[in-house]
Amino acid sequence: MLMDTSRWLRLLAVAALVGLLGCAALWLTPSPELPANPSPDRPKLVVLVVYDQMRGDYLERWQALFGEGGFRRLMDEGAWFQNCHLPYANTVTAAGHASMLTGCTPSTHGIVANEWYDRAEELDVSSVFTIRYEQLPPPQPPPVDSATGRALRYPSAAPDRLLAPTVGDVLKRASNGQGKVVGLSIKDRAAVLPAGHRSDACYWLDSFNGTFITSTYFSSRLHPWAAEFNRLQPKYADQWFGQDWTHLRPDINYVRHSGIDDQPGEGKGFLQGRVFPHPMTGGAKQPSKAYYNAMYNSPFGNDLLLEFTRRAIDGEQLGADEQPDLLCVSFSCTDSVGHTWGPDSQEVLDVTLRADRVMRGLLDHLDSRVGRGRYVVLLTADHGVCPLPEVSRAQGREADRLSFAKLTTEAADYLSVRFKQPEGSVRWFEGLGHPPFFYLNRPVLAALKLDVAEVSQVLARWLQSQTGIQRAYTRQELEGPRPPEEDERVWKTYHPQRCGEVLAILKPYYIWEMPFEGGTSHGTPHPYDTHVPLLVFGGGVKPGARPEPVSAQAIAAIASQALRIPQPEKSQGTVPAGLWPE
């Protein structure tokens, strides 16, 4: 629905202010200096590779099935940290991608969720959505104001809400702008947030037409290599239309290595069905948004991004000179597949086996264009994933799906009774609902002369009595000192300007209900959500499996050390001992 002009202008002004405040500290930070005589073995390129939702146990679980040159090469020749965990509670995509190269947690960088309610703007906001900048190229035909007939600006993405500098930001300052920073993904937030505020190129997929787009925040025009890729006829993204997604390895026993092909609780994707083979049309007669959604919910979107990444490496000449560059590439399709069919499915096994081949393709290209031993790769994930509740129950665990909307409605009814208000007469919450946060309606509470802290405590106690809720924390608790017995990851999730009055943590193996039938999710501090892989390859790292616990905050520290630059100013991680030979 289009907004009226006055509303649009007010939001534009507020968004501009948010962007200026968010970036001011970064602009004013003094530039560190690079060593005058860098080491001759200094890498020419550092590559952050993210497989969205690749849980930390997958690499060990399916190690024997990987081919040569992909994951196995990283595990054999690099440092493999097998016990790496995220250090905060709300384990979702935006928070994960924001944390990797800032080296800090949501309590510092401010990306507390994929979306949240912003009280200053009086809006539900996305982690990277902005009306300050436009999509590039703009959609065709452009959106039109229904009242005036005038073309409207089409909003896009920018790192305005990211409150901490990234490794890329430090690289740009330290190299006087000479080091290149590139961010690529299928998802906008996964491209924007790791690369940071000063990317030379930042691209993600337009799901309406299967081409890659950017924002006028980053550039006034498409880079020539990106424009050329988008002009390909037929489109590179269209090659899988009408094909079926079938098992990559019919020679192996998928049931033995994952599970049966039709498990209770699985979703159906975009008219793709619960079992192999999965049709790749989305129900469309020709490539369109329905098809591109189906492609994203399959391994083929990762293949698309691999080819686009190759073009970026060549077009930007990454790693081609003495000044090191940074490339961030996040493969999103593992996340969509995992949400739909669950971590114990044949689909997740298959997309992981295909991801191994994608990794081999990327390493082969880096060998060819940058040179063996001249680059460093850090492989990780933004979060893990919970098993399907139905699978957990079959294994004897307590598990279920909870409706956040239903829980919010029941909470409102309870508050009405508790504070003696006619049922349905009070709008107790603001925003559309963003688990795990409950945003109380402060203006309404003020009008009713109710104390926000008291209502928060009442709500938290009620939530803790509900099925599936392990613990509910109030704003007052999270703004005070953390008791030793409490989980510090909850405190590292909380940001006072962006979180609600109450934060609810689910019990293990419970999930918030998805907007589609079946499937699973993530977003808790439980090990299946916090456990992510961490592999460091190249640059002379000491190879071998490392079982000791490591925080994912180490990623920014490792990348900084590989680039021979200071860590980002708000980074809280350290390089694991013994990573580099003495």
β partners of residue 375: 45
8 Å CB contact between 298 and 242: no
pTM of the model: 0.93
Distance of alpha carbon 105 from alpha carbon 88, whole angstroms: 7
Shared domain for 459 and 547, answered yes or no, is no
Residue 28 placed within a domain: no
Domain hosting 460: range is 400-508
Instruction: Read off the pLDDT of residues 291-338 as tens digits, 9 standing for 90 and up.
Output: 999 999 999 999 999 999 999 999 999 999 999 999 999 999 999 999
DSSP state of 245: E
So what's the pLDDT on residue 19?
A: 46
So what's the pLDDT on residue 294?
A: 98
Shared domain for 334 and 432, answered yes or no, is no
335: left (phi over 0), alpha (psi -120 to 50) or beta: alpha
Shared domain for 330 and 452, answered yes or no, is no
Distance of alpha carbon 211 from alpha carbon 205, whole angstroms: 6
Shared domain for 281 and 423, answered yes or no, is no
The tally of domains found in the chain comes to 2
Split at pLDDT 50, 70, 90, the class of 423 is confident
Shared domain for 113 and 74, answered yes or no, is yes
Instruction: Read off the pLDDT of residues 362-411 as tens digits, 9 standing for 90 and up.
Output: 999 999 999 999 999 999 999 999 999 999 999 999 999 999 999 999 99
Instruction: Read off the pLDDT of residues 27-43 as tens digits, 9 standing for 90 and up.
Output: 334 433 333 333 347 89
Instruction: Read off the pLDDT of residues 328-351 as tens digits, 9 standing for 90 and up.
Output: 999 999 999 999 999 999 999 999
Shared domain for 351 and 420, answered yes or no, is no
Residue 540 placed within a domain: yes
Residue 6 placed within a domain: no
Shared domain for 300 and 413, answered yes or no, is no
Is residue 18's pLDDT more than 50?
no
Q: Which residue in 29, 91, 93, 102 is the catalytic one?
A: 93
Shared domain for 294 and 175, answered yes or no, is yes
Shared domain for 315 and 208, answered yes or no, is yes
- Mean pLDDT lowest among 36-40, 240-244, 540-544: 36-40
* CB atoms closer than 10 angstroms to residue 404: 15
8 Å CB contact between 546 and 80: yes
Split at pLDDT 50, 70, 90, the class of 420 is very high
Split at pLDDT 50, 70, 90, the class of 450 is very high
Structure tokens at 107: 């309590």
Instruction: Read off the pLDDT of residues 117-162 as tens digits, 9 standing for 90 and up.
Output: 999 999 999 999 999 999 999 987 777 777 887 777 788 999 999 9
Q: For the chain, what is the mean pLDDT?
A: 93
Which comes out higher in pLDDT, residue 518 or 516? 518
* CB atoms closer than 10 angstroms to residue 396: 7
| pLDDT-above-70 percentage for the chain | 93
Alpha-carbon distances, residue 252 vs 257, 348, 405, 573 (angstroms): 8, 15, 42, 40
Question: For residue 408, which amino acid is it?
Answer: T
Residue 38 placed within a domain: no
Residue 571 placed within a domain: no
So what's the pLDDT on residue 484?
A: 96
- Mean pLDDT lowest among 15-24, 47-56, 130-139, 556-565: 15-24
Residue 23 placed within a domain: no
Shared domain for 329 and 453, answered yes or no, is no
| pLDDT-above-90 percentage for the chain | 88
Is residue 93 flagged as an active site residue? yes
Name the nearest CA neighbour of 209 among 118, 287, 123: 287
Instruction: Read off the pLDDT of residues 166-195 as tens digits, 9 standing for 90 and up.
Output: 999 999 999 999 999 999 999 999 999 999
Name the nearest CA neighbour of 81 among 544, 563, 556, 567: 544
Residue 214 placed within a domain: yes
**CATH code, 69:** 3.40.720.10
**CATH code, 417:** 3.30.1360.150
Residue 11 placed within a domain: no
Shared domain for 325 and 438, answered yes or no, is no
Distance of alpha carbon 534 from alpha carbon 58, whole angstroms: 12
Residue 222: φ, ψ to 5°: -65, 145
Shared domain for 538 and 503, answered yes or no, is no
So what's the pLDDT on residue 30?
A: 42
